[in-house]
Amino acid sequence: MNSVTRPGRVGIMGGTFDPIHYGHLVTAEAARWEFALDKVIFVPSGRPPHKKDYQVTRAEYRYQMTVLATTSNPYFEVSRSEIDREGYSYTVDTICAFRRAYGPQTQLYFITGADAILEILTWKDVDRLLRECQFIAATRPGFQLNRLEESRPQLPVEGRHRIHLIEVPALAISSTDIRWRVKNNQPIKYLLPEAVEEYICSRGLYRPRPDGVYDKG
Ligand code: ATP
Ligand code: MG
């Protein structure tokens, strides 16, 4: 990519996306709009370090669902960078890879739910992360803004102003709830794009197998 075509402001939306849902999509679009981002790149995680215990659905399926969910938005892209990488995926490695690809002039914004940003303090190389990108944290139901404010003093001084909060419509949607609903024959319609719902149905994702083992795809 040459410098002429390099976009100035890029959003990066990391997640397990197991499955992707309207909470993710509304958040990404709100961030794009409020921060005038040229695009938002969805990055489905490979082997998430924080979900070691829970067996995550095969990366290829999560990637395909993310592609299906985002194709109708010309500002959305999906990256295979984490799923094609060996070993655990650390956000800092992903951000640094995008930094190398886009060069020093591009402003990178990592978009997360506000609950996830609280975990930032436990992430590897948080100082470096805050130097390389800014954060856009969307509030989600039940999240107390003051909890984030309280955690800010623990962040490196020069990094604190690089965390921005946005409000998104109260979407109490989570992948955990969607997986639970499928498993328990509850409707998931209108919680996620129809194409993703059809994909889940056709592959039989999140359904208990006849032998009682929960099928991870
Ligand atoms: P799970 O229930 O399996 O943890 P999830 O719904 O939280 O799944 P993730 O893939 O873990 O989805 O989340 C990716 C990112 O999207 C995280 O930064 C998370 O905070 C954010 N996010 C998830 N759901 C919402 C929502 N309803 N509104 C705003 N942000 C969300
Ligand atoms: Mg989550």
The three-point CA angle 190-196-201 to 5° equals: 95
Using an 8 Å Cβ cutoff, are 11 and 133 in contact? no
pTM value > 0.75? yes
Q: What is the mean pLDDT of residues 192-200?
A: 98
Determine the distance separating the centroid of ligand 1 and the alpha carbon of 208, expressed in angstroms: 23
Determine the distance separating the centroid of ligand 1 and the alpha carbon of 30, expressed in angstroms: 15
Alpha carbon nearest to ligand 1 atom 25, residue: 23
**Which pLDDT tens digit goes with each residue over 45-95?**
987 666 655 678 999 999 999 999 999 999 999 999 999 987 777 888 899
Q: Is 18 helix (H, G, I), strand (E, B) or coil?
A: coil
pLDDT of residue 214: 45
Q: What would the two tokens of residue 84 be?
A: 């094609």
* Ligand in closest contact with the CA of 143: 1
- CB within 6 Å of ligand 1 — which residues? 15-18, 23-24, 27, 112-113, 115-116, 138, 140, 168, 171, 173-176
